[in-house]
Amino acid sequence: MLLTTFLAGVAGTGVGGLVGALLQKNSNRTVSLLLAFAGGVMLSVVCCDLVIEAIETDVGVVVVIAAIAIGVAVTYLLNYLIDKKTNPEVPHIDGDHPKTADDLDELIHSNHLEQHYARHDGKLSLFVAGIVMACAIALHNVPEGMTIGASYASNEGVMGSAALVLAILIGLHNIPEGMAVSVPLISGGMAKWKAVLITACTGIPTIIGALLGYLLGEIGALGLAMSLGFASGAMLYVVFGEVLPQAILMYHSKLPAFSTIAGILAGLFIIFV
Protein backbone atom coordinates (compact mmCIF):
# COMPACT_ATOMS: atom_id res chain seq x y z
CA MET A 1 0.00 0.00 0.00
CA LEU A 2 2.76 2.45 0.91
CA LEU A 3 4.57 1.89 -2.39
CA THR A 4 1.36 2.37 -4.38
CA THR A 5 0.56 5.55 -2.49
CA PHE A 6 4.12 6.81 -2.85
CA LEU A 7 3.89 6.42 -6.61
CA ALA A 8 0.52 8.18 -6.73
CA GLY A 9 1.50 11.10 -4.50
CA VAL A 10 5.23 11.70 -4.78
CA ALA A 11 5.76 10.35 -8.29
CA GLY A 12 2.61 12.07 -9.59
CA THR A 13 3.62 15.53 -8.42
CA GLY A 14 7.24 14.79 -9.34
CA VAL A 15 6.27 13.94 -12.91
CA GLY A 16 4.24 17.14 -13.02
CA GLY A 17 7.26 19.07 -11.84
CA LEU A 18 9.40 17.39 -14.49
CA VAL A 19 6.85 18.13 -17.22
CA GLY A 20 6.75 21.74 -16.09
CA ALA A 21 10.53 21.92 -16.10
CA LEU A 22 10.94 20.41 -19.57
CA LEU A 23 7.85 21.52 -21.48
CA GLN A 24 6.59 24.56 -19.58
CA LYS A 25 3.11 25.51 -20.95
CA ASN A 26 3.17 23.44 -24.15
CA SER A 27 1.71 20.33 -22.54
CA ASN A 28 -1.52 21.91 -21.31
CA ARG A 29 -3.79 20.28 -23.88
CA THR A 30 -2.50 16.76 -23.23
CA VAL A 31 -2.61 17.14 -19.47
CA SER A 32 -6.11 18.68 -19.66
CA LEU A 33 -7.52 15.71 -21.56
CA LEU A 34 -5.77 13.25 -19.25
CA LEU A 35 -7.24 15.06 -16.24
CA ALA A 36 -10.75 15.06 -17.68
CA PHE A 37 -10.48 11.35 -18.47
CA ALA A 38 -9.16 10.65 -14.96
CA GLY A 39 -12.03 12.66 -13.45
CA GLY A 40 -14.54 10.52 -15.33
CA VAL A 41 -12.95 7.26 -14.17
CA MET A 42 -12.84 8.60 -10.59
CA LEU A 43 -16.58 9.27 -10.70
CA SER A 44 -17.28 5.71 -11.81
CA VAL A 45 -15.00 4.18 -9.19
CA VAL A 46 -16.40 6.34 -6.38
CA CYS A 47 -20.08 6.03 -7.24
CA CYS A 48 -20.15 2.45 -8.51
CA ASP A 49 -17.54 0.85 -6.27
CA LEU A 50 -16.51 2.70 -3.08
CA VAL A 51 -19.98 3.99 -2.17
CA ILE A 52 -21.54 0.60 -2.93
CA GLU A 53 -18.99 -1.14 -0.70
CA ALA A 54 -19.69 1.37 2.08
CA ILE A 55 -23.43 0.66 1.85
CA GLU A 56 -22.81 -3.10 1.85
CA THR A 57 -21.24 -2.87 5.32
CA ASP A 58 -24.87 -2.67 6.55
CA VAL A 59 -24.25 0.18 8.97
CA GLY A 60 -27.05 2.17 7.35
CA VAL A 61 -27.29 4.45 4.34
CA VAL A 62 -27.62 7.50 6.58
CA VAL A 63 -24.18 6.80 8.08
CA VAL A 64 -22.66 6.48 4.61
CA ILE A 65 -24.31 9.70 3.43
CA ALA A 66 -23.04 11.49 6.56
CA ALA A 67 -19.50 10.20 5.97
CA ILE A 68 -19.60 11.39 2.35
CA ALA A 69 -20.84 14.81 3.46
CA ILE A 70 -18.04 15.03 6.04
CA GLY A 71 -15.47 14.13 3.37
CA VAL A 72 -16.76 16.89 1.09
CA ALA A 73 -16.91 19.41 3.94
CA VAL A 74 -13.40 18.72 5.26
CA THR A 75 -11.83 18.92 1.80
CA TYR A 76 -13.74 22.12 1.04
CA LEU A 77 -12.66 23.61 4.37
CA LEU A 78 -9.00 22.93 3.59
CA ASN A 79 -9.41 24.71 0.26
CA TYR A 80 -11.28 27.60 1.89
CA LEU A 81 -8.59 28.15 4.52
CA ILE A 82 -5.84 28.21 1.90
CA ASP A 83 -7.85 30.61 -0.30
CA LYS A 84 -8.54 32.90 2.66
CA LYS A 85 -4.83 33.06 3.44
CA THR A 86 -3.50 33.54 -0.09
CA ASN A 87 -6.15 35.54 -1.99
CA PRO A 88 -5.62 38.90 -0.19
CA GLU A 89 -1.99 38.91 -1.34
CA VAL A 90 -2.96 38.86 -5.04
CA PRO A 91 -3.97 42.38 -6.22
CA HIS A 92 -6.53 41.40 -8.88
CA ILE A 93 -8.55 39.19 -6.51
CA ASP A 94 -10.94 41.65 -4.88
CA GLY A 95 -14.66 42.17 -4.36
CA ASP A 96 -15.28 42.25 -8.10
CA HIS A 97 -13.46 38.99 -8.76
CA PRO A 98 -15.50 35.79 -9.31
CA LYS A 99 -15.93 33.67 -6.18
CA THR A 100 -14.31 30.76 -7.99
CA ALA A 101 -10.93 30.66 -9.74
CA ASP A 102 -10.99 31.78 -13.36
CA ASP A 103 -7.40 30.81 -14.08
CA LEU A 104 -5.37 27.65 -13.46
CA ASP A 105 -2.74 29.58 -11.49
CA GLU A 106 -5.44 30.81 -9.11
CA LEU A 107 -6.93 27.34 -8.68
CA ILE A 108 -3.69 25.87 -7.38
CA HIS A 109 -2.25 29.08 -5.92
CA SER A 110 0.87 29.46 -8.04
CA ASN A 111 -0.16 33.10 -8.61
CA HIS A 112 0.65 33.70 -4.93
CA LEU A 113 4.31 32.88 -5.51
CA GLU A 114 4.43 34.79 -8.80
CA GLN A 115 3.34 37.98 -7.03
CA HIS A 116 6.41 37.79 -4.79
CA TYR A 117 8.65 37.36 -7.83
CA ALA A 118 7.00 40.31 -9.57
CA ARG A 119 7.62 42.54 -6.56
CA HIS A 120 11.22 41.30 -6.26
CA ASP A 121 10.62 40.39 -2.62
CA GLY A 122 13.40 39.06 -0.43
CA LYS A 123 14.28 35.42 0.05
CA LEU A 124 12.20 35.14 3.24
CA SER A 125 9.02 36.23 1.43
CA LEU A 126 9.71 33.82 -1.39
CA PHE A 127 10.31 31.03 1.11
CA VAL A 128 7.01 31.74 2.90
CA ALA A 129 5.20 31.89 -0.44
CA GLY A 130 6.67 28.56 -1.47
CA ILE A 131 5.67 27.00 1.86
CA VAL A 132 2.08 28.23 1.46
CA MET A 133 1.80 26.83 -2.05
CA ALA A 134 3.38 23.52 -1.03
CA CYS A 135 1.02 23.27 1.96
CA ALA A 136 -1.98 23.90 -0.28
CA ILE A 137 -1.06 20.91 -2.42
CA ALA A 138 0.04 18.79 0.55
CA LEU A 139 -3.30 19.32 2.33
CA HIS A 140 -5.18 18.23 -0.78
CA ASN A 141 -3.15 15.03 -0.89
CA VAL A 142 -4.20 13.78 2.56
CA PRO A 143 -7.85 12.95 1.71
CA GLU A 144 -6.74 11.62 -1.68
CA GLY A 145 -4.43 9.20 0.10
CA MET A 146 -7.31 8.15 2.37
CA THR A 147 -9.14 6.95 -0.72
CA ILE A 148 -6.35 4.50 -1.52
CA GLY A 149 -6.11 3.37 2.10
CA ALA A 150 -9.86 2.81 2.34
CA SER A 151 -9.77 0.73 -0.85
CA TYR A 152 -7.07 -1.47 0.63
CA ALA A 153 -9.02 -1.87 3.88
CA SER A 154 -12.18 -2.89 2.01
CA ASN A 155 -10.17 -5.56 0.18
CA GLU A 156 -8.64 -6.99 3.38
CA GLY A 157 -5.30 -5.27 2.87
CA VAL A 158 -4.80 -6.55 -0.67
CA MET A 159 -4.47 -4.23 -3.65
CA GLY A 160 -7.65 -4.61 -5.68
CA SER A 161 -8.45 -3.07 -9.03
CA ALA A 162 -10.15 -0.08 -7.39
CA ALA A 163 -7.07 0.79 -5.31
CA LEU A 164 -4.78 0.46 -8.33
CA VAL A 165 -7.04 2.55 -10.56
CA LEU A 166 -7.43 5.24 -7.90
CA ALA A 167 -3.66 5.39 -7.36
CA ILE A 168 -3.09 5.89 -11.09
CA LEU A 169 -5.82 8.53 -11.32
CA ILE A 170 -4.59 10.45 -8.29
CA GLY A 171 -1.13 10.39 -9.84
CA LEU A 172 -2.54 11.92 -13.04
CA HIS A 173 -4.43 14.50 -11.01
CA ASN A 174 -1.19 15.53 -9.31
CA ILE A 175 0.59 16.28 -12.60
CA PRO A 176 -0.80 19.81 -13.18
CA GLU A 177 -0.29 20.64 -9.52
CA GLY A 178 3.34 19.64 -9.89
CA MET A 179 3.61 21.76 -13.02
CA ALA A 180 2.19 24.77 -11.18
CA VAL A 181 4.81 24.44 -8.46
CA SER A 182 7.87 23.82 -10.62
CA VAL A 183 7.25 26.38 -13.38
CA PRO A 184 7.28 29.49 -11.10
CA LEU A 185 10.16 28.10 -9.06
CA ILE A 186 12.26 27.60 -12.19
CA SER A 187 11.18 30.99 -13.56
CA GLY A 188 12.46 32.50 -10.32
CA GLY A 189 15.92 31.10 -10.95
CA MET A 190 15.85 27.81 -9.02
CA ALA A 191 17.74 24.88 -10.54
CA LYS A 192 15.43 22.50 -12.40
CA TRP A 193 16.48 19.41 -10.43
CA LYS A 194 15.87 21.18 -7.13
CA ALA A 195 12.44 22.45 -8.24
CA VAL A 196 11.41 18.94 -9.32
CA LEU A 197 12.63 17.48 -6.00
CA ILE A 198 10.71 20.05 -3.94
CA THR A 199 7.63 19.47 -6.06
CA ALA A 200 7.80 15.71 -5.53
CA CYS A 201 8.03 16.17 -1.75
CA THR A 202 4.62 17.88 -1.70
CA GLY A 203 3.12 14.46 -2.50
CA ILE A 204 4.40 12.83 0.70
CA PRO A 205 1.21 13.61 2.72
CA THR A 206 -0.64 11.25 0.39
CA ILE A 207 1.08 8.41 2.28
CA ILE A 208 -0.17 9.79 5.61
CA GLY A 209 -3.70 9.92 4.25
CA ALA A 210 -3.46 6.32 3.02
CA LEU A 211 -2.40 5.12 6.49
CA LEU A 212 -5.29 7.01 8.10
CA GLY A 213 -7.81 5.58 5.65
CA TYR A 214 -6.50 2.04 6.10
CA LEU A 215 -6.36 2.16 9.93
CA LEU A 216 -9.88 3.60 10.14
CA GLY A 217 -11.15 0.92 7.78
CA GLU A 218 -9.64 -1.82 9.94
CA ILE A 219 -11.63 -0.84 13.04
CA GLY A 220 -14.76 -2.70 11.93
CA ALA A 221 -17.85 -2.33 9.77
CA LEU A 222 -18.58 1.18 11.03
CA GLY A 223 -14.96 2.26 10.59
CA LEU A 224 -14.86 0.82 7.08
CA ALA A 225 -18.11 2.54 6.11
CA MET A 226 -16.85 5.86 7.52
CA SER A 227 -13.49 5.48 5.81
CA LEU A 228 -14.99 4.61 2.43
CA GLY A 229 -17.65 7.31 2.77
CA PHE A 230 -15.19 10.02 3.81
CA ALA A 231 -12.80 9.08 1.02
CA SER A 232 -15.67 9.08 -1.49
CA GLY A 233 -16.77 12.54 -0.41
CA ALA A 234 -13.22 13.85 -0.59
CA MET A 235 -12.78 12.46 -4.09
CA LEU A 236 -16.14 13.86 -5.26
CA TYR A 237 -14.99 17.30 -4.17
CA VAL A 238 -11.60 16.77 -5.81
CA VAL A 239 -13.28 15.79 -9.10
CA PHE A 240 -15.83 18.60 -9.22
CA GLY A 241 -13.83 21.25 -7.37
CA GLU A 242 -10.36 20.63 -8.78
CA VAL A 243 -9.90 18.03 -11.52
CA LEU A 244 -12.61 19.13 -13.96
CA PRO A 245 -12.05 22.88 -13.40
CA GLN A 246 -8.31 22.33 -13.93
CA ALA A 247 -8.98 20.45 -17.16
CA ILE A 248 -11.23 23.20 -18.52
CA LEU A 249 -8.94 26.04 -17.44
CA MET A 250 -5.93 24.34 -19.02
CA TYR A 251 -7.67 23.80 -22.37
CA HIS A 252 -10.77 25.81 -23.29
CA SER A 253 -12.63 23.39 -25.53
CA LYS A 254 -15.46 20.83 -25.63
CA LEU A 255 -12.88 18.03 -25.73
CA PRO A 256 -12.48 17.80 -21.92
CA ALA A 257 -16.23 17.06 -21.68
CA PHE A 258 -15.95 14.18 -24.15
CA SER A 259 -12.81 12.98 -22.37
CA THR A 260 -14.71 12.94 -19.06
CA ILE A 261 -17.54 10.88 -20.59
CA ALA A 262 -14.99 8.46 -22.02
CA GLY A 263 -13.46 8.20 -18.53
CA ILE A 264 -16.83 7.35 -16.98
CA LEU A 265 -17.38 4.58 -19.53
CA ALA A 266 -13.85 3.27 -19.00
CA GLY A 267 -14.44 3.23 -15.24
CA LEU A 268 -17.61 1.18 -15.67
CA PHE A 269 -15.69 -1.26 -17.87
CA ILE A 270 -12.91 -1.61 -15.26
CA ILE A 271 -15.39 -2.24 -12.44
CA PHE A 272 -17.87 -4.59 -14.08
CA VAL A 273 -15.95 -6.44 -16.80
What range does the domain containing 152 cover? 2-272
* pTM listed for this prediction: 0.73
The stretches of 87-220 forming alpha helices (DSSP H) are 104-107, 110-118, 123-154, 161-187, 192-201, 205-217
Q: What is the mean pLDDT of the chain?
A: 75
Cα–Cα distance for residue pair 229/210, rounded to 1 Å: 14
- Residue segments in the chain with a per-residue pLDDT below the cut of 50: 25-26
Asked if 30 contacts 191 with a C-beta cutoff of 8 angstroms, the reply is no
| Each residue's pLDDT tens digit, 31-72 | 788 778 888 888 988 898 889 888 988 888 999 999 999 999
pLDDT of res. 262: 94
Number of separate domains in the chain = 1
Cα–Cα distance for residue pair 150/211, rounded to 1 Å: 9
